[in-house]
Structure 1
Amino acid sequence: MINILDKTFVPLISREDIENRITTLANEITNDYQGRCPIFVVVLNGAFLFASELVKRIPLTCEISFIRLSSYAKTESTGEVREIIGMDNNIEGRDVIIIEDIVDTGLTMSQLLSQLNGLAPASVAIATLLHKPEALQTSIDLKYIGFNIGNKFVVGYGLDYDGIGRNLDSLYVLA
């Protein structure tokens, strides 16, 4: 168990399991995009650890860009997505792979997909470390999923509770 601020969390997914799954996802992406130069769009802040571990295992020529979106307050999704830092890369005719830490309601991803598709990419795929199928409020096509988890609040491996816990090397769930 670990305590973060006023909450207690218990282990959910170990560092070893995360690393093994990331290697599998990297191999799938490498095979799918062989001979192409995808642009990875990393959703900050939560996806930074996942993105770092994922892209360093992908031996393709690629670009990496960052966008920052937010829809959480404390442990709940607000349902409102606000763009904080936008992407300035030209993605017209490019293969885009969004790297996200977690897809739960799908509202954040739906808005991001809408914005990116308006820029005329050749393709857009989503790679997410975590997916909460029970929490989905809109249909999202997730091509690369690390782990499906229950509809519980998680921290670690880039995910935080009120800014704390991103640096944990494993994933923990609210007790």
Structure 2
Amino acid sequence: MNNDIEKVLFTQEQLNKRMDEMAERLNKKYAGQEPIVIPVLNGAMLFASDMIKKLTFKLTIDPIKASSYAGAASTGKVKIVQDIKSNVNNRPVIFMEDIIDTGRTLKTLTEVMRKRGAKSVEVVSMLDKPETRVVDFKADDYAFKAPNAFLVGYGLDYNGWYRNLPYVGILKQAVYA
């Protein structure tokens, strides 16, 4: 798998450092509250798992699975494949996402949770790729700004592969072209 990577962008150490900083902010903000943390599957599994271990407040973990991609391209339509089971009414919601690309998925999901009566909705993402945004959406916090390249590793995939790489890297174009 490493041979398919053009360049490593963010190492495990860099990710850990930023997650520590992000968790510190969340721990202050949500002390005494009981938010529902919603990892967006499958991509956010590794990031969310590592982030959640750094949080010191009571929380409920309830993943959601949404899809808007077919292979390497966005379909433009967001579909909730697996919904959460928790009642979000009057509870803070924290989405944990791997990457905000077009912005469609998180914009849709945050709107859904607001309609369901969430007390607040916050989006924490490992990566933000603002160059590819097609809707008006911003994360509340993100670890790193990502270049407009096909990224894999640390939960990010191409056709289900590369999620288990311990870093975020740029996939060689020859692999997905």
1:74 aligns with 2:71: yes
Structure 1 residue 63 corresponds to structure 2 residue 54: no
SS of structure 2 residue aligned to 1:9: strand
Match status 1:2 vs 2:2: yes
Distance 2:168 2:7 in 1: 9
After TM superposition, the score normalised by the length of structure 2 is 0.93
Question: Could you list the runs of 5+ residues in structure 2 that have no partner in the other structure?
Answer: 173-177
Change (3 A) 1:81 1:9: farther
Match of residue 175 from structure 2: none
**Between structures 1 and 2, the one with greater helix share:** 2
Identical counterparts, % of pairs: 37
1:36: Cα distance to partner?
A: 0.9
Matches of 1:153 and 1:141 in 2, distance apart?
20
Q: What TM-score results when the alignment is normalised by the length of structure 1?
A: 0.94
Which residue, out of 80, 90, 97, partners 1:100? 97
Partners of 1:130 and 1:147 within 8 A in 2: yes
The residue correspondences of 1:61-140 to structure 2 (distance < 5 A) are: 61-140=58-137
- Distance, in Å, in 2 between the alignment partners of 1:86 and 1:9 is 35
1:139 CA displacement: 1.4
Deviation of 1:158 after TM superposition, in Å, equals 0.5
Secondary structure, counterpart of 1:91 in structure 2: coil
Match of 2:36 in 1: 39
Check if 1:142 corresponds to 2:150.
Answer: no
Match of 1:163 among 156, 160, 173: 160
Q: Do the aligned partners of 1:2 and 1:10 also contact (CA within 8 Å) in 2? A: no
Structure 1 runs of 4+ off > 2 angstroms? Answer: 1-4
The one-letter code sitting in structure 2 at the alignment partner of 1:53 is D
Q: CA deviation at 1:141?
A: 3.2
The answer on 1:53 being equivalent to 2:50 is yes
CA distance in 2, matches of 1:160, 1:25: 23
